[in-house]
Each structure stands twice: as structure tokens, then as C-alpha cells.
Amino acid sequence: MENRSGTMRKNIISLFSFLVVVLLLTSCGRDESGQLVGVMDRPTWNGINPYGMVYVPSGTLHIGQSDQDVFNTYTQKPKSISIQGFYMDDTEVTNNEYRQFVHWVRDSIAHTIMGDFKEDDFGNEQLDWEYELDYSSEDLDEMYYEGDMMLNGKRELDTKQYEYKYQWIDWKKAAHDKTSSVRSNLIEEESVEIFPDTLVWIRDFAYSYNEPYTRNYFWHPSFDDYPVVGVNWKQAKAFTHWRTQLWNSFRGEAEPNSEEFRLPTESEWEYAARGGREMAPYPWGGYYVRNAKGCLLANFKPGRGNYPEDGGLYTVKADAYFANDYGLYNMAGNVAEWTESAYHPNAYSHVHDLNPDLKYDAKEDDPANFKRKVIRGGSWKDVAYFLQTGTRHWEYQDTTKSYVGFRCALTFLGRSINDF
């Protein structure tokens, strides 16, 4: 009996000692045992699964124009590259998704005027403009057209006032400018008018009746699920910053925030468009724009201009047609898409083979050529050549078009999902 009691007493003492060590290790997140155990109060990270995005795994590809385009292969020489895994929107950003951004900016301006804007309550202070606001109040008169700016006496909001201000760090400057020890020298700031340019439907086409699209495309509910257009590169960048802030405010400070939403790089876009098919000329993998039944596989300009033959006279819904093998819709046709990358004809000759990208934040007084940004995928008004995964094209960053939209990307943190 005494031996059994002694053994039980030793077990109790050992258990108590173990509990004391555990408490020491976990109390206040510090280790007081003298052992190298790392910081103990680190938050857990279980990864994220952003709504409306699909995962594109890490991999390699050969970028470059197909052999059919002989002359462009002289300057855009094929190159083997590696891409870090990332998330990408499964569709182009739609009118209704972009409208959420527009409404947030509108409401934040109203709250600022009324003196009750809260930066720590990002996205939660929405106003019911139809029912709750007293339109007879003079508090928000400055947000509306007045006097001879009014049409038929109708009270309408002045969307020119919708500006979004944001900041970011110039990481390349921070890496190369070792003489600057002041952080403020590395912080860039931008103020962008974010309302889409609805007049692109008239401006892009001379002697063509497109006024109904100017009046309705961004407003009418029938176009809610269609890709937003009339958005320049800077507006698309502003949207990605706002989306990051919206996401981080939802997750809060208790969890580590993810990487930032952004535009995809040119190489990421081409890699995602191929859907895992090596050297595929189109996202569906084949060499033709029709399937075995003769049906067109994307929204573009077939033949000599039979626009409605593919099922859409202008744009179509963002999830129309079949997705590629990564689950991405309309990586060919519908609207061309902004990328993060600056355009240079011979970029493939000097970009790195690991996550290649060519960035340049052009200033207002820079030459026009410095403001060229890569667009990919072709659009509803383009011929089939521009639908190919390797075809490169560009637009000026401050221009808006009825055939250019965008989608967002988000770098995956950690190992490739395929490694688990």
C-alpha cells in the first residue's frame, strides 16, 4: 500500500510540475523556462478562401506569342517562367460589384459632410438614400446638381465628386533608396475620381447609336452581372485598395490580415488564362474559336463583323460561356482586362523568370509612352487574334474604354495547396 501511495504521490507531483511549465510557457505569451521555444502568443493562420475567387496553383509556363505571329516573336521572345500561387476573381468585376465601391465612396462623403464619418467602421455606415434621408435638408445640398446644372428640375447626385483617396508604400523605392531614413518619403498618395465613364459608349464609336448604353449600362438592373467598363487603370487600382480595406475591416485585428487585393501581373494573367494547358492558344485549349458543333466559344467579333453570332451584340454576363480548367470565365473575349504591368515591347527579354513583372507608376507629366499598361484577353469588339492567351496589347493608364474591364488577384501565402 505504501509503495502504491508513493507512486501516486509522484504522479501527482509530476502532473503538477507539467501544468506549472505549461502555464509558464503560455502566460503573457512568454517563455520563462530559459528555453528557445519561439513567441507563444502568435495568432493562428488557417488560410482564406475569398468569395468569388478561385485558386491558381504555383507552376511554370512558357510565355510568348504563338508561332503564327512570326513578327511579334522577334520582340516578344518565348521564355520559361515560374509563378507563385494566387487567387483570381472567377469573373470580371461586374457593374453591381463596382457599384458597392461607388456607394461606399458616396456614403463616406455624406458622413464626412455630416461630421460622423468613422474610419474604424469601414463599410458599415451605409445610408438609405431612398427612404431615410430627408431630401429637404440642406446638409447634403452640395452633393447634388444645382441651378442650371439640373435637368428638368430633377434632383440628382453629382458623381464628379466621388473621389477616393488612398496611400501605399513604394516598395521598390524603399529597397533601392538606402539614403532615405524617413518613412514618409516612401508613402505615395492618390486621389481618384472613381465613377465609371459612361460616355465611352458614344466616344468609342463614331456615327454609331449607343446612347441607350450610356444611359443604362451602369444603372439598369438588367446589366448588374455584366462586366463594368469605362474604368481606367487608376480607378481599377483604387478599387483593389478599397477591397483590401473592406476585407481587413471584416477580419479585424484578432486575425493576421491577408495579402492585398491587386490587379494581376501580365504573366499571372497569361498563366491563369491557359488553365493549366501548356502552350494553349486559347483558354479552352483548342486551336479554334468554335467547338465541334460549330458554336462560338467566346464573345468577340467573328468573321467580318457579325457581332451577335456569338450570342452577344455588346458585352455579355460575366459568367457566360464555359469556364477554363481553373474555373475562370471569359479569359478570352467579353472585355479586355487591365493588368498591373507596364507595357514594353521587349519586356520578355529583361524581366526575371521568377514571378516576372514590369512596374512603373507613371506621373502626370511623364511622356505618353510611360503611361502604357498591358491589357489582355481581347474583347467583344476584337477579332479572334486578340483572344489568344499569348497576345499582348496596351492602353494608356488614364484612358477609359467600353471594352476594357478588370478582375482582381490575391497572392497565396504559404506552401502551394498541391503540397498538402
Residue 408 lies in a domain: yes
- Tell me the CA end-to-end span of the chain in Å, nearest whole number: 52
CATH code (residue 378) = 3.90.1580.10
Domain co-membership, 317 together with 279: yes
Question: Please, what is the angle between helix 95-114 and helix 233-251, to 10°?
Answer: 70
- Please state whether beta strands 59-63 and 187-193 pair in parallel, antiparallel, or not at all (unpaired): unpaired
Under a CB-based contact definition with an 8 Å cutoff, are residues 409 and 87 in contact?
yes
Domain co-membership, 6 together with 79: no
Residue 179 lies in a domain: no
Domain co-membership, 292 together with 221: yes
Under a CB-based contact definition with an 8 Å cutoff, are residues 337 and 407 in contact?
yes
Domain containing 383 equals: 53-94+194-419
Residue 107 lies in a domain: no
Residue 415 lies in a domain: yes
Domain co-membership, 337 together with 301: yes
Domain co-membership, 410 together with 384: yes
**β-pair partners for 192:** 164
Buried b (16+ CB within 10 A) or exposed e, 362-377: beeeeeeeebbbbbbb
Domain co-membership, 84 together with 12: no
Task: Choose among 68, 79, 136, 122: nearest CA to 282.
Answer: 68
Give the other-Cβ count within 10 Å of 215's Cβ.
12
Q: Looking up cell 494581376, which residue turns up?
A: 264
Please give the chain's pLDDT, 420 residues, in tens. Answer: 455 555 556 566 565 555 555 555 555 555 567 889 888 887 777 778 889 999 999 999 888 766 566 556 666 677 899 999 999 999 999 999 999 999 999 988 888 887 765 555 555 556 766 655 544 456 788 888 888 888 888 888 889 999 999 998 888 888 887 776 678 888 889 999 999 999 999 999 999 999 999 999 999 999 999 999 999 999 999 999 999 999 888 876 667 767 899 999 999 999 999 999 888 899 998 889 999 899 999 999 998 889 999 999 999 999 999 999 999 999 999 999 999 999 998 888 889 999 999 999 898 899 999 999 999 999 999 999 999 999 999 999 999 999 999 999 999 887 555 544
Note if the pTM is more than 0.75: yes
Task: Choose among 303, 305, 268: nearest CA to 289.
Answer: 303
Domain co-membership, 327 together with 358: yes
Residue 155 lies in a domain: no
Instruction: Please give the Cα distance from 306 to 134 (Å, whole number).
Output: 50
Domain co-membership, 266 together with 328: yes
Residue 73 lies in a domain: yes
* Amino acid at residue number 150: M
Residue 100 lies in a domain: no
Query: Could you give the number of structural domains in the chain?
Result: 2
Q: Is 15 exposed, middle or buried (0-12, 13-18, 19+ CB in 10 A)?
A: exposed
What is the grid cell recorded at 34? Answer: 530559459
Instruction: Please give the Cα distance from 65 to 72 (Å, whole number).
Output: 7
Residue 150 lies in a domain: no
Note the helical H segments in 139-265.
171-176, 200-203, 211-216, 233-251
Domain co-membership, 314 together with 399: yes
Angle among Cα 392, 339, 47 to the nearest 5 degrees reads 130
291 to each of 5, 184, 279, 303, how far by Cα in Å?
Answer: 82, 56, 19, 16
* Amino acid at residue number 196: P
Q: Is the dihedral of CA 318, 262, 201, 220 positive or negative?
A: positive
Give the other-Cβ count within 10 Å of 398's Cβ.
14
Domain co-membership, 19 together with 60: no
